[in-house]
């Protein structure tokens, strides 16, 4: 294969590596664009057809991979259930003009260009009145005219350009977070405007105190300042007072205590000075102080909100379900009725067809099927389940229709309770903040003690100066820069990483990531793609004249409509021709499938099953036949060897026609395209890379061989994985764990930093500290580099803030710091801290990220 020699080629749409077999490339405007899968190709074609190609020029992050391609106009619309009125009632609201409006969560939004693309694409549809998408929260509101377009058409239009919209029900979490952040922004804005005004007035006052000024004008200017400062103290600074009060009631000290104290003292003393005439005023310091602190708080809140909103993604469950009425069980088909899920209650019976998502927890009453629990466990291999076993909401019924007795719905279901747990965990205060808070507690206690000592000293010696000097001490030592030091740097760094698809869910990540010594991968779906691919077709001796294409087409036809991984692998095989019709298709769980194509009966399944059912003699050794006799003459030795190697790690499925063996199709999991590069880069950084896998097959080790891992342990139970990680940690190693399923959760939580891949289930993404949205493992070493740099900057900031305090404190205590100097010193040090944090973005640009992930590189291919 000449492709093997070729360098890494990225998909024009999603930026992932283009697979070596198959060609999905599209010729657009005369240029051939590489595509990794039919889904990406279809999406790119739709985008170009609609004249929206500037999306590719402007986007700043690659799009998500699309994979499936089943949403074109010609095919049945999968969203039609959303058109039912009883389903819409929970999601849709009516506007005054007789239009409908709905809020949706849109997954896969990676940058601002995505929101533009969706708005442009939808805006062209007839009947869309208004559409507004917020790229930060990935939420949008759509208003449409129900007589011109249906909701299902809108949802499908979004799917056609590669995004996935899920309607959001009317709930309050979203609106309360929005309200909180709006309120904080308002406080910040008021403080900012007031800061500018009092600053302006303060310049006049300072000039006056140098050059002399009539008392009349001084009083006027001070009164004007009072006018601006009062709303800052009573409105903008309110969060500091409430939090200080709360912490005092709970008996510990936080940063807000001296902040509140300084604001109160400065405000009341300045007010007193204004009314009495004489003394000093600190109005400009108060506003600046509040503004900078609010700015830090605003930055922090924005990250927290973003993470919280990313968690609440709406439901993945289907909106309606077929209810079966037990009294009429004899004639199940007639009694079936489509009902919205919310109208079900425990004890009802429902039918779930093959390929459908099971909407609630329940017990299987009738039927046997393969159930994919990937959403819960991240394990792509389906589980065989039969009557009497329980199934969980969110899992997918793979093979046969099932009759299920509902045991828990909605809030009570397994899925909902795990989501709730995870949401609570996300709200927990990040670890670093707790440590910083404890340190700050001591620091503040010390500050207050010093301020007290200074006040007493001056009270005994020069009572008329005592108040002003104490104030000056409080203002000068205010931990403003200190409290900005960490959040600014963390905000900048997490924004940079987000552009790379590295979403940080917990704030401690950046701090811990820098000290990680070992990266531990969980095999399934992390280093490998976690899905099967057809790697070879070995024709039997009697069937060598039949083309490989034809064999695959037969197998694909037999597997049509199944959700089994092998079926999916076949249906995704490039160039598959499914034109013929198949009849009498019969799936036998755990064995295979048979069916009639034309007049001939075909079998596709486990070799021994095919032998028995088709009444064949033992299967001839096909690999021997093909490579040994038929092929060695023509093909080179190397390929042969590669083929044999591939065999040892693959799943073989036999294809037979009537009474004759046709071929053996081999499927195997593939190494993720970016894995080798990522592992090499990690090792260059001096990290150990190892693997703890639950996979028992020796094939796993084979697939992973090119990675040259430091340590590779197979067939481990979750408990053993946990012990292994704990062992490493006891030896003082900091562990970064990359996993993708709920069964990894214990290990993910034990690890110092955990990363879930974007293709993993929603649930494990929620549990992990980081979601790697792009699935591009090369983001790991880059994130570690950024984290190291961030930690350096935070350290610099903290050192600066403390050094400043150490110098300023004695000067202020000795009474050498006039109010203007205190104000300038405080704001200059805060500004310095923020500018230092911004240096991170420059570092990111220098290291060539923009070129590494942006379109320019792909354009040049």
Partner 1 sequence: MESLYLLIPISVIFIVIAIRLFFWAVNSGQYDDLDSEGERILFDRASSEDELEQLETLDKKEQLDKPQ
List residues binding partner 1 (CB under 8 A). 51, 53-55, 57-58, 60, 111-113, 115-116, 133-137, 178, 181-182, 185-186, 189-190, 193, 197, 217, 220, 224, 227-228, 302
Residue closer to partner 1 (CB basis): 237 or 716: 237
Residue closer to partner 1 (CB basis): 305 or 379: 305
Residue closer to partner 1 (CB basis): 186 or 387: 186
169: closest CA among 89, 86, 107?
89
Please say whether the beta carbons of 558 and 588 come within 8 A.
no
Residue closer to partner 1 (CB basis): 53 or 72: 53
Q: How far is the CB of 136 from partner 1 (least distance, A)?
A: 5
Please say whether the beta carbons of 527 and 707 come within 8 A.
yes
- Report the 3 state secondary structure along 511-557: HHHCCCCEEEECCCCCCEEEEEEEEEEEECHHHCCCCHHHHHHHHHH
Tell which phi-psi region holds residue 537, choosing left (phi > 0), alpha (psi between -120 and 50) or beta.
beta
Residue closer to partner 1 (CB basis): 211 or 583: 211
Q: How far is the CB of 614 from partner 1 (least distance, A)?
A: 58
Please say whether the beta carbons of 117 and 47 come within 8 A.
yes
Tell which phi-psi region holds residue 198, choosing left (phi > 0), alpha (psi between -120 and 50) or beta.
alpha
Q: How far is the CB of 134 from partner 1 (least distance, A)?
A: 4
Residue closer to partner 1 (CB basis): 137 or 623: 137
Distance CA(851)–CA(500), nearest Å, equals: 11
Q: How far is the CB of 519 from partner 1 (least distance, A)?
A: 30
Residue closer to partner 1 (CB basis): 51 or 686: 51
551: closest CA among 385, 439, 663?
663
757: closest CA among 472, 302, 378?
378
Distances (CA, A) of 842 to 209, 449, 836, 850: 42, 41, 11, 11
Residue closer to partner 1 (CB basis): 118 or 566: 118
Q: How far is the CB of 185 from partner 1 (least distance, A)?
A: 5
Q: How far is the CB of 200 from partner 1 (least distance, A)?
A: 9
Residue closer to partner 1 (CB basis): 111 or 777: 111
Residue 384, strand partner residues = 370
Residue closer to partner 1 (CB basis): 134 or 383: 134
Task: Tell the residue number behind the tokens 């399944």, with chain if given.
Answer: 605
Distances (CA, A) of 255 to 179, 240, 302: 25, 9, 20
How many Å from the N-terminal Cα to the C-terminal Cα in the chain? Answer: 20
Residue closer to partner 1 (CB basis): 309 or 414: 309
What is the DSSP secondary structure assignment for residue 389, as one 8-state letter? -
Q: How far is the CB of 295 from partner 1 (least distance, A)?
A: 13
Q: How far is the CB of 834 from partner 1 (least distance, A)?
A: 17
At residue 110, the 3 state secondary structure works out as coil
Q: How far is the CB of 145 from partner 1 (least distance, A)?
A: 15
Q: How many CA atoms lie within 13 A of 371 on its CB side?
A: 27
Residue 163 CB neighbour total at 10 angstroms: 25
Residue closer to partner 1 (CB basis): 140 or 430: 140
Q: How far is the CB of 196 from partner 1 (least distance, A)?
A: 9
Please say whether the beta carbons of 667 and 21 come within 8 A.
no
Task: Tell the residue number behind the tokens 């200190």, with chain if given.
Answer: 482
Distance of CA 465 to the CA centre of its chain: 57
DSSP H helices in 378-430: 414-427
Residue 794's contacts (CB-CB under 8 Å, 6 or more residues apart) are: 485, 486, 489, 490, 511
Q: How far is the CB of 218 from partner 1 (least distance, A)?
A: 12
Q: How far is the CB of 216 from partner 1 (least distance, A)?
A: 9
């Amino acid at each position: 294969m000449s492709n093997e020699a070729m360098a890494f080629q990225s998909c024009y749409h999603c930026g992932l590596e283009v697979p070596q077999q198959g060609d999905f490339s599209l010729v657009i405007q005369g240029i051939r664009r590489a595509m990794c899968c039919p889904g990406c190709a279809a999406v790119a074609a739709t985008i170009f057809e609609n004249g929206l190609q500037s999306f590719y020029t402007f986007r700043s992050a690659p799009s998500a991979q699309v994979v499936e391609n089943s949403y074109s106009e010609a095919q049945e619309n999968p969203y039609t259930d959303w058109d039912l009125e009883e389903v819409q009632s929970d999601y849709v609201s009516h506007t005054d003009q007789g239009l409908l409006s709905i809020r949706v969560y849109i997954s896969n939004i990676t940058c601002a260009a995505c929101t533009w693309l969706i708005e442009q694409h939808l805006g062209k549809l007839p009947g869309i009145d208004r559409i507004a998408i917020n790229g930060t929260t990935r939420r949008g509101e759509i208003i449409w005219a129900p007589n011109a377009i249906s909701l299902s058409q809108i949802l499908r239009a979004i799917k056609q350009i590669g995004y996935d919209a899920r309607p959001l029900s009317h709930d309050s979490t979203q609106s309360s977070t929005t309200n909180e952040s709006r309120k904080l922004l308002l406080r910040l804005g008021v403080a900012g405007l007031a800061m500018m005004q009092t600053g302006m007035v303060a310049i006049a006052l300072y000039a006056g105190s140098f050059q002399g000024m009539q008392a009349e004008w001084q009083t006027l200017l001070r009164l004007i300042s009072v006018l601006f400062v009062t709303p800052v103290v009573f409105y903008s600074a309110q969060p500091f007072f409430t939090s200080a009060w709360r912490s005092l009631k709970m008996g510990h000290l936080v940063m807000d205590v001296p902040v509140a104290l300084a604001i109160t003292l400065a405000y009341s003393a300045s007010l007193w000075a204004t009314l009495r005439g004489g003394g000093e005023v600190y109005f400009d310091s108060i506003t600046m102080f509040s503004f900078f602190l609010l700015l830090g708080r605003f930055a922090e809140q924005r990250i927290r909100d973003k993470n919280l909103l990313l968690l609440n993604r709406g439901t993945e469950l289907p909106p309606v379900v077929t209810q079966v009425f037990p009294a009429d069980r004899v004639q199940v088909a007639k009694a079936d009725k489509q009902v919205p899920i919310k109208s079900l209650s425990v004890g009802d019976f429902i039918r779930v067809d093959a390929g459908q998502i099971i909407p609630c927890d329940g017990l299987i009453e009738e039927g046997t099927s393969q159930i994919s629990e990937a959403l819960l466990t991240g394990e792509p291999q389906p589980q065989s389940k039969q009557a009497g076993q329980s199934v969980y909401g969110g899992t997918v019924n793979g093979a046969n229709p099932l009759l299920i007795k509902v045991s828990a719905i909605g809030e009570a279901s397994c899925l909902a309770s795990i989501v709730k747990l995870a949401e609570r965990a996300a709200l927990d205060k990040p670890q670093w903040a707790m440590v910083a808070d404890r340190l700050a507690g001591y620091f503040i206690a010390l500050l207050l003690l010093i301020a007290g000592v200074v006040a007493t000293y001056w009270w005994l010696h020069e009572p008329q100066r005592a108040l002003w000097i104490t104030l000056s001490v409080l203002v000068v030592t205010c931990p403003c820069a200190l409290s900005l030091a960490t959040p600014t740097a963390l905000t900048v760094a997490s924004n940079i990483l987000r552009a790379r698809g590295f979403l940080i869910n917990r704030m401690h990540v950046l701090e811990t990531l820098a000290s990680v010594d070992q990266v531990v991968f969980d095999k399934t779906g992390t280093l490998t793609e976690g899905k099967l691919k057809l790697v070879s077709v070995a024709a039997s001796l009697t069937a060598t004249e039949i083309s490989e294409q034809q064999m695959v087409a037969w197998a694909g036809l037999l597997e049509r409509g199944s959700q089994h991984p092998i079926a999916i692998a076949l249906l995704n095989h490039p160039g598959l021709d499914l034109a013929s019709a198949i009849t009498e298709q019969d799936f036998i769980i755990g064995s295979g499938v048979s069916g009639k194509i034309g007049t001939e009966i075909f079998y596709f399944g486990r070799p021994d099953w095919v032998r028995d059912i088709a009444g064949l003699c033992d299967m001839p050794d096909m690999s021997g036949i093909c490579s040994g006799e038929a092929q060695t003459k023509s093909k080179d030795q190397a390929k042969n060897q590669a083929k044999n190697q591939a065999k040892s790690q693959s799943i073989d499925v036999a294809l037979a026609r009537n009474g004759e063996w046709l071929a053996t199709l081999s499927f195997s999991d593939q190494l993720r395209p970016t894995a080798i590069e990522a592992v090499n880069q990690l090792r260059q950084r001096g990290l150990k890379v190892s693997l703890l896998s639950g996979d028992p097959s020796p094939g796993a080790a084979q697939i992973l061989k090119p990675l040259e891992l430091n340590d590779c342990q197979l067939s481990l139970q979750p408990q053993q994985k946990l012990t292994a990680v704990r062992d490493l940690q006891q030896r003082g190693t900091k562990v970064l764990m990359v996993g993708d399923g709920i069964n990894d959760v214990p290990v993910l939580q034990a690890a110092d930093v955990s990363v879930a891949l974007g293709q993993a289930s929603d649930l494990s993404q929620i549990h992990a500290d980081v979601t790697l949205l792009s699935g591009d493992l090369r983001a790991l070493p880059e994130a570690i580099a950024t984290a190291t740099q961030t930690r350096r900057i935070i350290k610099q900031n903290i050192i600066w803030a403390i050094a400043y305090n150490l110098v300023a404190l004695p000067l202020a205590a000795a009474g050498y710091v006039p109010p203007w100097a205190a104000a300038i010193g405080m704001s200059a040090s805060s500004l310095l801290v923020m500018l230092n944090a911004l240096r991170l973005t420059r570092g990111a640009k220098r290291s060539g990220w923009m070129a590494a992930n942006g379109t320019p590189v792909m354009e040049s291919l």
